[in-house]
Amino acid sequence: VIADAGLYSASDQIIVLSPDNVDSVLFSSSAALLVEFYATWCGHCVAFSTVWKSLARDIKEWKPAVDLAAIDCADEKNRPVCIRFGITGYPSLKFFPAYSSNTTQGREFQGFPRDVRGLRHHIIDKLEMRDQMWPPACPPLEAASEAEIDSFFQTNSVKHLALVFEKKNSYVGREVTLDLLQYENIAVRRVLDTETSLVSRFNVTDFPSCYLYNSSGSISRLKVLNEARVFYSYALQRLPGVVRTGKMKTPIIDLIKNSTEEEWRPFNKTRVYMSDLESALHYSLRVELAAHVTITGADLTALKKYINVLATYFSGRPSVKSALKAVDSWLQEQEGTEIKYSDFRDVLDSVGETSDAVLPEGVQWVGCQGSQARYRGYPCSVWNLFHVLTVQAKEIDDSDPLEVLQAMRGYVKSFFGCRPCATHFESMAQENMNKVTSLSDAVLWLWSQHNRVNNRLAGDLSEDPHFPKIQWPPPELCPNCHSVKWTGEHSWNREEVSAFLQNYFSSDRILSDYLQ
């Protein structure tokens, strides 16, 4: 289920409460819960829902310590729940500490702020209140003393200790601590500027600033573009040896080892590989489509558009381009209302008989290799393929801005084997794809939808622990894409992102030497 009748759905990283789940969610939880009680007909609630969704995205890493929920009090079936909690106005927020008893009414958030940053700070204040159970998964948030830091490695076996030096009223250290709580091999503590002996031992001059301290006693300053929460978290989550907890762990030596049958091939994580794109084509045309014995109606239209877009914009090896063009010519000539997949396949396999056209058989993941066979591979290559196509359409520059996106939408809707993915993607397309009015918009639209998916999947079981889902591109890949507002909040510089994508997915940057 993606869409709920109310303002939220589980894909917003928000627990949707109902009479059936309210007790189990609120009262047997090892995490604290912050619940929004709202009514769908209340305009303020609708306006606030964008903040609540942004907050959920912003603090999704905090879930084991504090999670967000919402309940629609306008829905008659939910009325008894809202009455039970004494809700008289909307939106109302209530905080339920970890292991709350089922007699509690929750703690009202009076006069709560209407922005993500303010709410985040309020949550930390509530978590830190002393008269309640501490969520077991929540690391200490209070400032560390010198003695605690000196004895840290005697009692903890982590590889890195990150120290955020900051002033008393700053929340950055606590936010970064929570951002990293699902990661292993790293701990974060805040240290106040008044801890003068540590400040001088580490030579700290800026507040905030972040230092890495390891068990051998070495100290180094964390290099970041901006001394702000998101930049610290990005950098720390990606340190060598740091992986998300609770996932299959594979040993990390210099190069990550995979445990698939295939030998791990070294690759550059910051490049696109032709081998992945060709593997996507093979899998899509020979495996995924093969599930459809006959292709008719909207599916046939979708297939024609998809193949046509590939034939027009895929700038791969000449032999592959020829193969796509040959298949496209055949397909566009089919005037009936249906085709048999076997006929399509015959054409695909025989195009080389009279020319050098060929679509290589089999898959060889390079940039899309996973650390286990079940991770990455095909879906990774599908994203890459369509990013490349949106960028290549822009390189040609006189095409319909929606052409590639419509082709992707049609393909995903009709054929993409992961059906829940297809439903999600279709609902995102329905939401705002029609706002795309230029080829640059198309490139950015796909980028931002991909980031929405990344956001939804961060920490999901399908996530390869060695390739955590991040808001992409990270600062080390595109420093100028990122900036901070005066409040210290992160923001994307969309013009820079656009330029970056244009270069990153451009045809002349795609690596064909698989070992580069």
Q: How far is the CB of 37 from ligand FAD (least distance, A)?
A: 28
Q: Which stretch binds ligand FAD (CB under 6 A): 41-49, 204-212, 227-235, 379-387?
A: 379-387
Q: How far is the CB of 424 from ligand FAD (least distance, A)?
A: 4
Q: How far is the CB of 287 from ligand FAD (least distance, A)?
A: 15
Residue 202 or 504 having the CB closest to ligand FAD: 504
Tokens coding 211: 């230092």
**Nearest-angstrom CA–CA distance, 401 and 366:** 30
Give the list of residues 6+ apart from residue 151 with CB closer than 8 angstroms, or none. Answer: none
- Mind spelling out the 3-state secondary structure of 332-399? HHCCCCEEEHHHHHHHHHHHHHCCCCCCCCCCCCCCCCCCCCCCCCHHHHHHHHHHHHHHHHHHHCCC
Residue 76 or 460 having the CB closest to ligand FAD: 460
Residue environment code for 106-131, b if the CB has 16+ CB neighbours within 10 A, otherwise e: bbebeebeeebbebbbbbbebbeeee
Told to judge if 45 belongs to the known catalytic residues of this protein, a careful annotator would answer: yes
The amino acid occupying position 72 is D
Per rule CB under 6 A, count of chain residues that contact ligand FAD? 25
Residue 304 or 376 having the CB closest to ligand FAD: 376
∠ at Cα 31 (30, 34), nearest 5°?
A: 140
Residue 300 in 3-state DSSP?
helix
Residue 167 or 494 having the CB closest to ligand FAD: 494
Q: Is 379 in the site for ligand FAD (CB under 6 A)?
A: yes
Residue 443: name the closest of 475, 397, 512 by CA: 397
Tokens coding 268: 């550059």
Q: How far is the CB of 487 from ligand FAD (least distance, A)?
A: 24
Q: How far is the CB of 196 from ligand FAD (least distance, A)?
A: 43
Q: How far is the CB of 211 from ligand FAD (least distance, A)?
A: 29
**Candidate residues 344, 383, 411, 445; the one interacting with ligand FAD per rule CB under 6 A:** 383
Q: Is 384 in the site for ligand FAD (CB under 6 A)?
A: yes
Residue 41 or 472 having the CB closest to ligand FAD: 472
**Nearest-angstrom CA–CA distance, 233 and 222:** 11
Q: How far is the CB of 171 from ligand FAD (least distance, A)?
A: 27
Residue 208 or 401 having the CB closest to ligand FAD: 401
Taken as a whole, the chain contains a residue count of: 516
**Candidate residues 120, 229, 376, 490; the one interacting with ligand FAD per rule CB under 6 A:** 376
CA atoms within 13 A on the CB side of 41: 5
**Nearest-angstrom CA–CA distance, 167 and 206:** 10
Binding mask 244-273 for ligand FAD (x = CB under 6 A): ------------------------------
443-472: contacts with ligand FAD (CB under 6 A):
447, 450-451, 453-454, 457, 460, 462, 464, 467, 472
412-431: contacts with ligand FAD (CB under 6 A):
412, 418, 420-421, 424-425
**Nearest-angstrom CA–CA distance, 221 and 162:** 9
Q: Is 382 in the site for ligand FAD (CB under 6 A)?
A: yes
Q: Considering just the CA atoms, what is the radius of gyration of the chain in Å?
A: 26
Q: Which stretch binds ligand FAD (CB under 6 A): 159-167, 200-208, 383-391, 395-403?
A: 383-391
Q: Is 387 in the site for ligand FAD (CB under 6 A)?
A: yes
Q: What are phi and psi of 221, to 5 degrees?
A: -80, 135
Tokens coding 259: 């445990």
Residue 284 or 315 having the CB closest to ligand FAD: 284
Residue 38 or 425 having the CB closest to ligand FAD: 425
Query: For 216-278, where are the E strands, in sequence order?
Result: 219-221, 243-244
Positions that interact with ligand FAD (CB under 6 A): 368, 376, 379-380, 382-384, 387, 412, 418, 420-421, 424-425, 447, 450-451, 453-454, 457, 460, 462, 464, 467, 472
Which of the residues are catalytic?
A: 42, 45
